[in-house]
Amino acid sequence: MHETSDFDVVVVGGGHAGAEAALAAARMGCRVACVVLDPAAIGRMSCNPAIGGIAKGQLVREIDALGGEMGLCTDATGIQFRMLNTRKGPAVRSPRAQCDRHAYNAAMARRVLAQPGVTVFADEAVDLLCAGTPAGGPRVAGVVLRGAGALAARTVVLTTGTFLGGRLFAGSWEESGGRMGERGAHALAAALRRLGLRLARLKTGTPPRLDRDTIDFARLQEQPGDPEPVPFSFRSPGLRVQQVVCHLTRTTSATHHWIAEHAHLSPMYQGRIQGVGPRYCPSVEDKVMRFAERDHHLVFLEPEGRDTREIYPNGLSTSLPPAVQERFLRTIPGLEQVAVLRHGYAVEYDHLCTDQLRADLQVGEIAGLFAAGQINGTSGYEEAAGQGLVAGINAALHARGEEPLLLDRASSYLGVMIDDLCRVNPREPYRMFTSRAEFRLELRSDNADRRLAPVARRLGLLDAAALGRVEAKEQRVRAALRYLDATRHEGATLKSRLRRPDVDAAAIAALAPGFAALGLSPDELAEVEAEVKYEGYIQRARMEAERLRRLEGKRIPRGFAYGGVPSLSAEAREKLALRRPLTLGEAMRVPGVTPADLNLVLAVLARGDAAAGGPA
């Protein structure tokens, strides 16, 4: 194909997903257009100005390992850093940071605007251009902008966030919009429906923002950052940051009483919002109504930045009428005199039913159309950024006519997330948890760089210096593991000694000068310790992963004839032919396809391999 196109990749949206998608595609040499309603909003944090957290921290480390921007931006603009779950094992330890909202937004926007190869359009995408492919299916050919008209493109990445068909709610107030004060994208939602794509509604919400100067902090418990903050990015030189403190308060029975009495004024309880909200991040009215037996809920007062008076009360997401919000806030210790700078609200938006999504984040049968972030039913900046990065990479590969990057569940949290999305239509906004990752003991935040370095190297996502550092770290960790295996102390190897619950790497270093002489950093020592303590589990998981890879990763040729599979049920034949899964793993997840159906497909695939004279 040599048709002229203005761009290789058009990214619609500039949030956490859009920014990573645009940067990754441009860094892979593509001509990228990034279409945003307001360029100043690139990388804006709609809700909590925090990055990371349990499981999300792992995602950010993986994004960083693949050359993404989120970790670097967080390190540059963070104002409080904490490592969570330090009292538990290394597999569930996750970094979290609070950022200066304004600084993060500005830094990310600057990085996108300054990226060679990216052209930013302050415009609204109102339609998609499609064409036919030689194979007969539709293929994306570009987007139509309200102002600039048609942009021809080989691929399009949709990262519409809460803007697609977005509506805002607070009490009886209701308005079209993607974020408070920003209009929504309704023409595009209609265009997607015209293309035959199925959309559904989800909701999320945000708390009111409080005026710092009207809060009585004196009586509240302080929550400081870690004394020795750990950076997110493997590429950050280290953190030199003056950290801010957060404060802890709680709702009272008076709060609950007031909320229960006015819950009927919430648009959720009036049935005006159809979309389902997240159970793990419920509105305060949901908490009060669903868990009536609780006499309090915790509230974290988090500064939104150094130079702002705005305080984010974490735990108080609400869409009650503004007057009710102000009244219930004042029943909370420390907030008796509080002034509200912005009121909380709920937002309901369109997302794609994700059974239309494929393992490379392409959408349905429309070749070259990708989607990432909340449009795929997820919640959270980290989930969005991770998908944006993968969608950007795959759009670039697609534009170049190369094979897609498919990350499996054993490789990364990114792989787990994408696989989960393909598997089921989310009934609530999808958030990452460590328990979703069955290979959790290996998929740690500490080794994300080592895990994903081969991918980063192959795709050219990291510069030589960064790759060299990962390589050197890999060698030091391996040398340390070899040393522990080969060195004995009191009749047992140092490795078996380190496996004991009461022995840590520092104790080994004190015991064996040769180990200390290997010169591992404290982080690397912790990594070696985790590898040793989890060794048995990791090995078992690797065997399981290998088995899965053989089956799941088995590619199904593009033109595979399901009609030629004897005894395949009519339902399975129809669904598989419609969906055209790329791998057997993806086929497994097509609803209505039974293990028996897959056995039949596998049998035909195996015969194909034998005929081709080699294994897949």
Partner 1 sequence: MLDDTIHAVASPPGRAERGVIRVSGPAACAAVAALLAEPLPRARAAGVHTLRILGASLPVLVLVMPGPRSFTGEDVVELHLPGAPLLLAEVGAALAPAARPALPGEFTRRAYQHGRLSLLEAEGVLAAIQASTEAERRAAAAYQHGGLAEAVTALRMAIQDLRAVLESGLDFTAEETGAVDPGDWLPGLRAVRQRLAGLRAGLPAARPGGEVLLVGYANAGKSSLCNALGGGPAHLVSPVPGTTRDVLGVAVAEGVVLLDGPGEIEGAGGVEAEALALRDRLAGRAQGAILVVDGVRPRVPPTALPVLAVVVTKRDLLREPPEVPGLPAVPRFDVCAPRGDGLEPLRAFLAACGGGAPETVFTRVRDHLDGADAALARAEAAGSAGLGDEVAAAELALALEALDQVHGRSSPEGVLDRVFARFCLGK
Tell me which residues touch partner 1 (CB under 8 A): 54-55, 84-85, 88-89, 91-92, 248, 278-282, 287, 290-291, 294, 297-300, 314-315, 433-436, 438, 440-441, 501, 533-534, 537, 540, 566-567, 569, 594-597, 599-600, 603
DSSP string, 147-210: TTEEEEEEEEEE--TT-BT-EEEETTEEEE-SBTTB--BHHHHHHHHHTT--EEEEEEEE--EE
**CB 409 → partner 1: shortest distance, Å?**
12
Task: Report the relative pairing of strands 7-12 and 149-158 from DSSP bridges.
Answer: parallel
Nearest distance in Å: CB 381, partner 1: 15
* Segment holding 248, helix H or strand E: strand 246-250
Question: 34 vs 210, which CB is nearer to partner 1?
Answer: 210
Nearer to partner 1, 362 or 378 (CB): 378
Write the CA distances from 5 to 142, 366, 393, 602, integer angstroms.
8, 17, 19, 40
> Measuring CA to CA, which residue among 240, 283, 245 is closest to residue 80?
245
Q: Which residues pair with 358 in a beta bridge?
A: none
- Identify which of residues 133 and 425 has a Cβ nearer to partner 1 in the complex: 425
How far apart are the C-alpha atoms of 396 and 376, rounded to whole Å? 20
101 vs 533, which CB is nearer to partner 1?
Answer: 533
Q: How far is the CB of 105 from partner 1 (least distance, A)?
A: 22
**CA pair distance 579, 582, nearest whole angstrom:** 9
Spatial CB neighbours of 417, under 8 Å, sequence gap ≥ 6: 59, 378, 383, 386, 387, 430, 432, 436
Q: Which is nearer to partner 1, 559 or 566 (CB)?
A: 566
Q: Report in angstroms how near the CB of residue 112 gets to partner 1 at its nearest.
A: 30
By beta-carbon proximity to partner 1, the closer residue of 274 and 594 is 594
Q: How many Cα atoms within 13 Å fall on the side-chain side of residue 412?
A: 29
Our CB check for partner 1 shows the closer of 253 and 599 to be 599
Nearest approach, Cβ of residue 565 and partner 1 (Å)? 10
Which of 303, 338, 340 lies closest to 318, judged by CA?
Answer: 340
Give least dist CB 313 to partner 1, A: 10
Which residue is listed with tokens 């004024």?
265
Q: Which is nearer to partner 1, 292 or 517 (CB)?
A: 292
Q: How many CB atoms lie within 10 A of CB 611?
A: 8
State which residue, 23 or 443, has the beta carbon closest to partner 1: 443
| Closest-CA residue to 541 (of 444, 472, 449) | 444
Taking the complex as a whole, how short is the minimal distance between the CB of residue 533 and partner 1, in angstroms?
Answer: 8
SS3 60: helix
CB of 90 to partner 1, least distance (A): 9
Q: Please report the beta strands in 37-89, taking only residues with DSSP state E, as ranges in sequence order.
A: 50-52, 78-84
- Shortest distance, position 53 Cβ to partner 1, whole Å: 9
